[in-house]
Amino acid sequence: MLTRDFLRNADCKTAFGSIDESMLLTSEQRSASLDCTLARRPDNSPVWIFGYGSLMWNPVFDSDEARPATLNGYHRAFCLRLTSGRGTHSQPGRMLALKEGGRTTGLAFRLPEEKLREELELLWKREMVTGCYCPTWCELDLDDGRKVTALVFIMDPAHPLFEADTSYQVIAPLIAKASGPLGTNAQYLFALEKELQTYGMRDDCMSELVNQVRMLLAVSPAEGVPGLG
């Protein structure tokens, strides 16, 4: 399971599995990406992070507040070819990202300003190993009626790991078979399903995909989801 200590000490070349060095960001490149993102910070209001996948159940970073939130203009899609973490080059899976169109419900986390850089550096080491996401400032609607500006990790469609075909017929067999140093791809999918159910959130991209993966693995909804990160 991903922890703060794991991320602090991780060598990105090996900790998540074998990553093509041509795609691997150096620590200097990650730092420059973070600097560029902070330079575009729209105002001095608190920095929020939008979690729509594993950040929902295992954010790792410290936050002062967490609220259910809605992002308009983007939807969940398993459009990132997964060759490390929960997949390999020989047996790739699919990781979640955001694509344009629709809406997404998830959790918004308010970061402590006094620890902002420290928490974001940890987040960048987790999410920006290959630079597959575009960190983007977006407006969120919180469940209490507030509107806040948050950092959202959106898929870069120009990245070499982007996959356009996200039909469940294509990706369910990939998710059912893939695994890596952080566990299985199916564990991630089932954990996401459980987290959405916990908050009463519905996502149309999930139900048929989950059913197909369960059928391929011959597991029931009642079975647990160990080893999450």
Backbone Cα Rg of the chain: 17
pLDDT at 229 over 80: no
Question: Of residues 59 and 223, which shows the higher confidence score?
Answer: 59
- If pLDDT is split at 50, 70 and 90, which confidence band does 15 have? confident
DSSP 132: -
Beta strands in the chain (DSSP E): 48-51, 65-82, 93-110, 133-142, 147-155, 179-180, 183-184
- CATH, domain range 2-215: 3.10.490.10
Mean pLDDT, rounded, of the chain = 92
pLDDT reported for residue 220: 67
Catalytic: which of 113, 121, 127, 208? 127
pLDDT at 115 over 90: yes
- If pLDDT is split at 50, 70 and 90, which confidence band does 226 have? very low
What is the tens place of the pLDDT at every residue in 197-221?
999 998 988 989 999 999 999 976 6
For residue 161, how many other CB atoms are within 10 A of its CB? 21
Mean pLDDT, residues 122-139 taken together: 95
Amino acid at 147: K
- If pLDDT is split at 50, 70 and 90, which confidence band does 20 have? confident
200/202 Cα distance (integer angstroms): 7
pLDDT reported for residue 223: 59
pLDDT reported for residue 227: 45
Q: What DSSP assignment string belongs to 58-123?
A: ---S--SEEEEEEEEEEEEEEEEEE-SSS--SSS-EEEEEEEEEEEEEEEEEEPPGGGHHHHHHHH
Tell me if residue 127 falls in helix, strand or coil: helix
- If pLDDT is split at 50, 70 and 90, which confidence band does 24 have? confident
Which region among 13-22, 93-102, 210-219 has the lowest average model confidence (pLDDT)? 13-22
Per the annotation, the verdict on 119 as an active-site residue is no
Q: For the purposes of burial, counting CB atoms within 10 Å of the CB of 42, is it exposed (0-12), middle (13-18) or buried (19 or more)?
A: exposed
pLDDT reported for residue 11: 83
The structure tokens listed for 74 are 């983007």
pLDDT reported for residue 201: 95
pTM score over 0.85: yes
Closest CA to 163 of 184, 178, 151, 152: 178
- If pLDDT is split at 50, 70 and 90, which confidence band does 22 have? confident
Domain regions of the chain by residue span: 2-215
**Cβ pair 149, 111 in contact under 8 A:** no
Mean pLDDT, residues 27-34 taken together: 96
